[in-house]
Amino acid sequence: MRVVLGEDLYLLREGMARLLTAHGCEVVAAVGDEPALLEAMIEHKPDIAVVDVRMPPTFTDEGLRAALAARKRIPGLPVLVVSQYVEQLYARELLADGAGGVGYLLKDRVFDAAQFIDAVRRVAGGGTAMDPEVIAKLLAHGRAQEPVGTLTPRELEVLGLMAEGRSNAAIAGQMVVTERAVAKHTSNIFAKLNLPPSDDDNRRVLAVLAYLNR
């Protein structure tokens, strides 16, 4: 798997590069500022770009903007955005094109190498990986608008785990139910959100988007 890495802190960049290399990824470019990042993403067309939000030159949201710009040029380019904090607003912007292949995680998640690499693989494969903190905030709201408001608490729980990027098998394991029960929940969710039958991966992305947009 070919990876472009965008992170301005040298220690973190090296650490992440080492971690990715150790797990069989090839880091084709590791850069520390926005123009270089955008150039690298467009030049290398990597299997995934792992990008920090805050970067030089202005230390605001360059990384995010570079990721969005690159996805505009190369639709569906898988991007995993890591940050010191997560914002629902940014999550929505990342998912807005509905093309999938998007992850948005706290930097802390890098600590758990296995989980992090798992997220990288999922995003590279066109799935999503939303940080549990984004999901937790959404669940905390309670009141929801149509059509997400019509979901049962159980279905909401499944949708939350789906947004984190878990497969049906993983969700079943987490919720201690059978995989068939999860499959039933997911098809209910798709029906309630008016998502027409199509490629399952794509529907999962759309469901997450509806979830974040409520």
Chain residues binding other proteins by CB under 8 A are: 53-54, 60-61, 84-85, 87-90, 92, 106-108, 111, 137, 140-143, 145
By C-alpha distance, which of 63, 113, 69, 66 is closest to 83? 63
**Please, which residue, 93 or 155, has the CB nearer to other proteins?**
93
* Residue 201 beta carbon to other proteins: minimum distance, rounded to whole angstroms: 26
* Residue 169 beta carbon to other proteins: minimum distance, rounded to whole angstroms: 26
Q: Which residues of 123-135 are buried (b: 16+ CB within 10 A; e: fewer)?
A: bbebbbbbbbbbb
C-alpha–C-alpha distance, residues 135 and 29, integer Å = 31
Instruction: Name beta bridge partners: 81.
Output: 51, 104
**Please, which residue, 113 or 191, has the CB nearer to other proteins?**
113
C-alpha–C-alpha distance, residues 171 and 5, integer Å = 29
* Residue 145 beta carbon to other proteins: minimum distance, rounded to whole angstroms: 7
* Residue 142 beta carbon to other proteins: minimum distance, rounded to whole angstroms: 6
In the chain, alpha helices (H):
10-22, 34-44, 62-73, 88-95, 113-124, 132-141, 153-164, 168-175, 179-192, 200-213
In 74-178, alpha helices (H):
88-95, 113-124, 132-141, 153-164, 168-175
**Please, which residue, 75 or 143, has the CB nearer to other proteins?**
143
* Residue 171 beta carbon to other proteins: minimum distance, rounded to whole angstroms: 23
**Please, which residue, 86 or 207, has the CB nearer to other proteins?**
86
* Residue 137 beta carbon to other proteins: minimum distance, rounded to whole angstroms: 6
By C-alpha distance, which of 144, 143, 124 is closest to 45? 124
**Please, which residue, 26 or 112, has the CB nearer to other proteins?**
112
Element (H, E) at 105: strand 102-106
**Please, which residue, 60 or 178, has the CB nearer to other proteins?**
60
